[in-house]
Chain A
Amino acid sequence: MFSYYLDLAVRSLKRSPGLTALMVLAIGFGVAASMTTWSVFRAVSGDPIPWKSSKLFVPQIDVWGPQGRSSDGEPPNAMAYPDAMVLMRDHRAKLQSAMYQISPSVVPAQAGRHPLNVSGHAVYSEFFPMLDVPFLYGSGWNASDDTQRTAVVVISSKLNQKLFAGANSVGKTLNIESKDYRVVGVLDNWNPQPRYYDVVNSGGFSATGEDVFLPFERAIEVGMSNDGNTNCNAVPAESGFVGLQHSNCVWIAYMAQLDDAAAVTAYRNYLDGYAHAQQQAGRFGWAVNNRLRDLPAFLDNQHVVPSDTKVSLLVAIGLLLVCLVNTVGLLLAKFLRRSGEIGVRRALGAPRSAIYAQFLTEAGIIGAAGGVLGLLLTGVGVACVGWVLPKSIATLARLDLPLLALTLLVAVVATLLAGLYPTSRAARVQPAWQLKSN
């Protein structure tokens, strides 16, 4: 029976090619616009570490008091050095790391090659297991390297390719800021987006990955300056990088892994206890105002998804909606024009369900055709996002199988929904009326 309806539908669509083309175009453009903007939205709003994000927490300590808070009463989104060091020393979470952004120069060992500028982070050893960072060769360093400030480095596979031609470079030496570091690990391809461990500095997204990770205290000791944001509520009393470390300026990102609700509560109490102690010591002259958000909540709080992306998606969905209303109107016209034919079929004994099946098949074919057109246009759209979006975001939008499947599904389901009302009107056609008036 279905093949018969297919045949009927194709014949009917051929009879009015203009109207059919119009409906297919409308569905195609509507779906393509929605899917292209969706691919961008999906890329920027995805959970960068879905298996673990609910266990990763970002503590915030109100080091500035009421004067330094933003209008919504939020404490600073980064940490001052003294607080970060106490939190690291107390070590109350299962895994934790303070970190700051660095941008050292690397001098290749081969003579005659120009020095490179690389970016990276100074982190603690627990950074790697906490974030399940994948290694191609070697591993991270251990806790004793943290405290002994060992000159070790973890490099990206890209830098490894550039400097060591992709070979296992563990144990080799790398000249960073004129000092020698021993390579202990080479990362597998790792550039999570958003760069969730430090969204404050990356703004969330960055087209190029990070190349080096050094022990935090080592970087501090050699005076490797902060390449990320530094926010101060007062000019530091002492000058230089050491002055920054003694100040209340915030420039350190912090992350802790807390496995269950009890651990979260305990950590929250610990943070509040710390703020109380600072109050008693006279450093904080205000009520405790800490935050401890899990990663998804923190990303949301930091508005990591650009609002432009949301606006684009909304407007594109609006376009799809208009296209569907348009399709409802055109299908209605198309179906009711065939009232005579429906009347004859009904009079010859076709039940209403047969009319439903026939016309929904027709709507489905239009949806499928629109979906195929939508697929092509989505391909074009995703290829073109580089023109209209910054590189860091445009490179994230990808055309993959789920997106293709979703495009077809949305097109067919939306058109079937649009076809429901016209079909129900067609099924209600009175056979007697039609036969008489002809």
Chain B
Amino acid sequence: MPHIKPILAALKRHKAGTILIALQIALTLAIVCNALFIIQQRVTRLSRPTGMDESNLVAIQNRWVGVTDAAAAGVLTRADVLALRQMPGVQDAVQVNAFPLRGGGWSTGVRVDVDGKKPIAHTTQYFMDEHALATMGVKLIAGRNFRADEVVTTDPDKIQTSPQAIVSKALADKLYPDGSALGKPIYLGDDRTPSTVIGVVERLQVPWGAAWTDDFAENSVILPVQLTGNFSTYLIRAKPGQQAELVKAAPAMLTKLNRLRVITGDRGVRTFEVVREQAYKSDRGLAILMGVICLILLAITAAGIVGLTSFWVGQRRKQIGVRRALGATKHDILSYFLTENLMIGIAGVVIGALMAVGLNLWMVTQFEMARLSMAYVAAGVIALLLLGQAAVLAPAMRAAKVPPVEATRSV
């Protein structure tokens, strides 16, 4: 370990350069920490499982044309579902009001006490029949599925309280923390009559992927209801390997069944892969953007260190020669420059860590962002110190190669 004092003395003669490198390291650290933190949060969000077996799902959104009577539309919708279930390549199909990540659905408060004023939790409501679990591939972990005779077909405006409900485990645990939800009553919205929990599924996400749903992302209730009306949405589970075929065949079959319909637009026919991509597009986009900016930042900072250190080495060739002539080894010279860089780096990361926390605190107030975890600051500090050492290595090795005879030459 070389002595620190001569390094400090030398740095005093290069105040501006030293301050600039330290400042650059500090700013880079502050930005990189926050950017990495944003990346981690977005990646965590977009890799959440929906609870469904997503690989073989296809979603179709249909709209009836010229059917003014909701009940008549309901009959047509039912015919669609039955026809879909008969199709070759289809394992199962279900009519839904919404499905995970669809972007648009129903949500309401839920209580466990009929007189409870404030809802205990917020939940989404899925209206599906007894084919729901098999189609979505959701795992039932307690209780039973709906029976066909429990399913009620109704106009969306005339929904009655369902006597039965299947809830997600997350919601069950929230409502009955002791794990006894099965067989217990829940009250949805301002219902006065209860729905009884007849089954619990392992996991089922809400129809939205955005940040505002983070505190009820897995609170779902499935009710044995089939809604009638002008719009109908189908979730189809293809047999393995049949999905690509079905994307074309299913809408063609439906159009053949009845022409007076519209299956178009952004949400017309989508594989679940597309659903997921659309739901998380902006999250993924921000993560990619932050990643690119981080890479550019680190590259520029490293290149800046290389450039400035090279200049210093060039400037000090004579002094290096003198030191070598007086007995300093190559290793001494190398470690001199490494230590010098480490000292500047430490000053930079100390300031940078403070700036990182400050920037995060400010962003928390401005953009509803979470608090930065200190692990990120620590990781950033280590990464930048290592980056500095790696960047300085090449110029430092060049310095170490300066021959002692340099001392005798004039510039």
Chain A residues with CB under 8 Å of chain B are 18-19, 22, 25-26, 29-30, 33, 37, 105, 107, 114-117, 177-178, 225, 234-236, 239-241, 243, 306-308, 310-312, 315-316, 318-319, 321-323, 325-326, 328-330, 332-334, 337, 387-390, 421, 425, 438
Contact = CB atoms under 8 A, between A and B. Distances in A.
20 contacts: A26-B304, A30-B300, A105-B65, A115-B261, A177-B66, A235-B190, A236-B157, A307-B368, A311-B38, A312-B286, A312-B290, A315-B31, A315-B34, A318-B31, A319-B31, A323-B300, A325-B24, A329-B20, A388-B286, A390-B278
A312 B304 contact: no
A26 to B, nearest CB: 5
Contact of A332 (B20, B27, B31, B65): B20
B286 A19 contact: no
Interface in B263-309: 264-265, 278, 281-282, 284-286, 288-290, 292-293, 296-297, 300-301, 303-304, 307-308
A117 B286 contact: no
B300 A333 contact: no
Given A25-B300, A315-B290, A322-B297, 9 more contacts: A26-B303, A316-B293, A321-B27, A323-B300, A330-B308, A332-B20, A334-B311, A387-B285, A390-B282
Contacts of A18: 307
Contact of B27 (A25, A243, A322, A389): A322
B303 A239 contact: no
Contacts of A235: 189-190
B301 A326 contact: yes
Given A239-B157, A329-B21, A333-B308, A117 B31 contact: no
A345 B408 CA distance: 28
B82 interface: no
Given A322-B297, A325-B27, A326-B300, A240 B285 contact: no
Question: Which 8 residue pairs of A and B lie closest in terms of their CB atoms, listed nearest first?
Answer: A388-B285, A333-B311, A239-B157, A329-B20, A326-B304, A115-B65, A117-B262, A307-B367
B158 interface: yes
A22 B307 CA distance: 8
A187 B65 CA distance: 25
B248 interface: no
Contacts of A387: 285, 288
Contacts of A243: 157
Contacts of A236: 157
Contacts of B290: 312, 315
B49 interface: no
B390 interface: no
Contacts of B27: 318, 321-322, 325
A29 B307 contact: no
Interface in B9-31: 16-17, 20-21, 23-24, 27-28, 30-31
Nearest to B259: A114
Nearest to A388: B285
Chain B's interface size range is: 35 or more
A29 B24 contact: no
Interface of B: 16-17, 20-21, 23-24, 27-28, 30-31, 34-35, 38, 63, 65-66, 68, 155, 157-158, 189-190, 230, 259-262, 264-265, 278, 281-282, 284-286, 288-290, 292-293, 296-297, 300-301, 303-304, 307-308, 311-312, 314-315, 363, 366-369, 411
A117 B363 contact: no
Majority secondary structure of chain A interface residues (helix, strand, loop or mixed): helix
A311 B312 CA distance: 37
Contacts of A37: 289
A389 B282 CA distance: 5
A88 B327 CA distance: 94
B307 A19 contact: yes
A105 B263 CA distance: 12
Contact of A389 (B261, B262, B285): B285
Given A235-B189, A243-B157, A388-B289, A325 B308 contact: no
Q: Which of A239, A308, A438 is the most central at the interface, judged by chain B CB atoms within 10 Å of its CB?
A: A308
B280 to A, nearest CB: 10
A434 to B, nearest CB: 11
Nearest to B20: A329
Contact of B293 (A116, A310, A319): A319
A141 B312 CA distance: 77
A225 B70 CA distance: 12
Q: Which of B155, B301, B311, B368 is the most central at the interface, judged by chain A CB atoms within 10 Å of its CB?
A: B311
A239 B160 CA distance: 11
B281 A390 contact: yes
Contacts of A307: 366-368
A241 B311 CA distance: 77
B375 to A, nearest CB: 20
Nearest to B24: A325
Given A312-B286, A332-B20, A29 B296 contact: yes
Nearest to A103: B63
B35 A315 contact: yes
Contacts of B411: 438
B17 A329 contact: yes
Contact of A325 (B20, B66, B261, B315): B20
B30 to A, nearest CB: 8
B282 A306 contact: yes
A311 B31 CA distance: 11
A234 B314 CA distance: 77
Contacts of B63: 105, 117
B20 A337 contact: no
A310 B189 contact: no
A421 B155 CA distance: 74
B156 to A, nearest CB: 9
Nearest to B70: A240
A276 B118 CA distance: 29
Given A105-B63, A333-B308, A337-B314, A115 B296 contact: no
Contacts of A240: 155, 157
A201 B97 CA distance: 19
A337 B314 CA distance: 9
B110 to A, nearest CB: 14
Nearest to B309: A333
A322 B24 contact: yes
